[in-house]
Amino acid sequence: MFPRKPLGFLIFTALAVAAAAFVWFGLPHDREVKSLGIFLVKLLPFIFATEAVARLDVEWARRYRLALLLVPPAFLLYFLYFVPKIFFFGGVASGTAEAFHGLYYHVLTVTPFLILATVLAFRLGGGTAALVRRLSYGMLLLMLSGLEDLAFLTVNDHTDPAYATIPEVWDWASHMTVFLGHPPTKVEAYVFILVHVVLGLAVFFSPQRWWDVLKVRVVRTRTESV
């Protein structure tokens, strides 16, 4: 028999996913609202998701560590789909390098803010300090990994020949360049991404006792140095 505690959460989660899929794939992506009915339908994914979160049993979620299973994928949906789309359409619309650089800077500045806002809400809701650190630092590693650069090249329909295929040298990826000392080749970029993803997964899912031992050693080292 299915446990009753998560049932409401799972039902509304399924409704939210179904409604979001219908809105995204079944309705035109219009800037203007054409009717009150369409407006209300487009609100359904948000309403269902809100009800799902409100019905989430905290003890059940804590038992199965759902924060680590749900929060990072939600962040990645934003960072690996919506951010590349923003950059792609923003680059077309801005028309100048200066305007695009301003857009790029602001989006990448708001991203760590969203991470902090997420873990703040998690902490205020009773999340442990250990999970706050795992979520925050793990998502930061994913942000810095270069996954978004790869997503920009793959989720958008590029007409520029320079980006129609994945470039052999990623000369725009300055966050990789400062580590490597030169613009990364495609293979180096893949390795850079893989290392960061593995580190992020290690932060998310490694046993807590490892971190407890590390913390004890750091404290002991500090005490001995004093």
What are the tens digits of pLDDT across the range 6-28? 899 999 999 999 999 999 999 98
- The number of domains in the chain is 2
Measure the CA–CA gap between 94 and 122, rounded to whole angstroms: 36
pLDDT band at 93 (very low <50, low <70, confident <90, very high): low
pLDDT for 74 = 93
Joined tokens for residue 11: 């039902």
Q: Tokens 């052999």 belong to which residue? A: 168
Measure the CA–CA gap between 186 and 81, rounded to whole angstroms: 21
- For 83, the domain range is 65-225
* Residue 2 reports pLDDT greater than 60: no
Q: Both 115 and 54 in a single domain? A: no
Q: Both 57 and 103 in a single domain? A: no
Q: Are 143 and 112 in contact (CB under 8 A)?
A: yes
DSSP state of 4: S
Q: Both 17 and 89 in a single domain? A: no
Q: Both 101 and 204 in a single domain? A: yes
Q: Both 22 and 105 in a single domain? A: no
The domain boundary residue, chosen from 13, 31, 62:
62
Higher pLDDT, 147 or 163: 147
* Residue 108 reports pLDDT greater than 70: yes
Q: Both 40 and 116 in a single domain? A: no
Q: Both 109 and 176 in a single domain? A: yes
Write the DSSP string, 81-133.
IIHHHHHHHHHHHH-SHHHHHHHHHHHHHHHHHHHHHHHHHHHHTT--HHHHH
Measure the CA–CA gap between 25 and 30, rounded to whole angstroms: 12
CB burial of 22-50 (b: ≥16 within 10 Å; e: otherwise) equals: ebeeeeeeeeeeeeeeeeeebebbeebbe
Q: Both 25 and 113 in a single domain? A: no
Q: Are 9 and 57 in contact (CB under 8 A)?
A: yes
Q: Both 89 and 160 in a single domain? A: yes
Q: Per-residue pLDDT averaged across 195-211, rounded? A: 91
Q: Both 221 and 139 in a single domain? A: yes
The domain boundary residue, chosen from 62, 86, 107:
62
Q: Both 217 and 119 in a single domain? A: yes
